[in-house]
Chains A and B, each alone.
Chain A
Amino acid sequence: AQSVTQPDIHITVSEGASLELRCNYSYGATPYLFWYVQSPGQGLQLLLKYFSGDTLVQGIKGFEAEFKRSQSSFNLRKPSVHWSDAAEYFCAVGANSGYSTLTFGKGTMLLVSP
């Protein structure tokens, strides 16, 4: 079975600084990988996804993530954080088969300081 680890529960970044959120997964083959963002009181919005091909994936709102098979990681990055990026971020992994389901990490809360 697949699993996801997000090592950081909270991260505080200054506005304008760069951001990297860590995600490590466990799965026997190449997985499907996702990053979702959740603003307070809202549902989850997809930021980006990786299924195959180019290991650097571009998403919405200026986010990108890089799939590194050797490290079993799919870290989320943004070069310059805006105050509106403050939210909770979830990494998720799924098996690459038709009936697979998603397994979510426990989330990383991003705080943005002025």
Chain B
Amino acid sequence: NAGVTQTPKFRVLKTGQSMTLLCAQDMNHEYMYWYRQDPGMGLRLIHYSVGEGTTAKGEVPDGYNVSRLKKQNFLLGLESAAPSQTSVYFCASSPQGLGGNQPQHFGDGTRLSIL
């Protein structure tokens, strides 16, 4: 049982390059989330999805796009990477939203550096 798997685990980009982070979950969860974690800032929600084909903006969505074409996958895209996007990115999933009395399950993170 893999849970939530993030790929890649590490990546270095140059400013202006694009890339996609992949999150896959094998728990048949409806909800999926992308967070970024910066020192002293805790986790901040970038985008989330309440089901296949849906996406919604979180607290810090600018500069990112997401897609949820398949229920088990949630992709986070950076179209033109900027040094301010250097961070550790976490994906999470949950069976339902918080009203369903279910916690979020987290992946191990992707450490992204942009030079």
Contacts and interface: CB of A to CB of B under 8 A. Distances in A.
Contact of A107 (B42, B90, B98, B101): B42
Interface in B93-115: 96-101, 103-109
B100 A105 contact: no
Given A43-B90, A90-B42, A106-B41, A95 B103 contact: no
A34 interface: yes
A99 B107 CA distance: 21
Contacts of A107: 40, 42
B43 interface: yes
Interface string B27-42: 0000001010000111
A98 B42 contact: no
Interface residues of B, number: 28
A94 B42 contact: no
Contacts of B97: 97-101
A99 B30 CA distance: 12
A43 B42 contact: no
Contacts of B104: 46, 102
Interface of B: 4, 33, 35, 40-45, 48, 50, 58-59, 90, 92, 96-101, 103-109
Interface of A: 4, 9, 32, 34, 36, 41-46, 49, 51, 90, 94-107
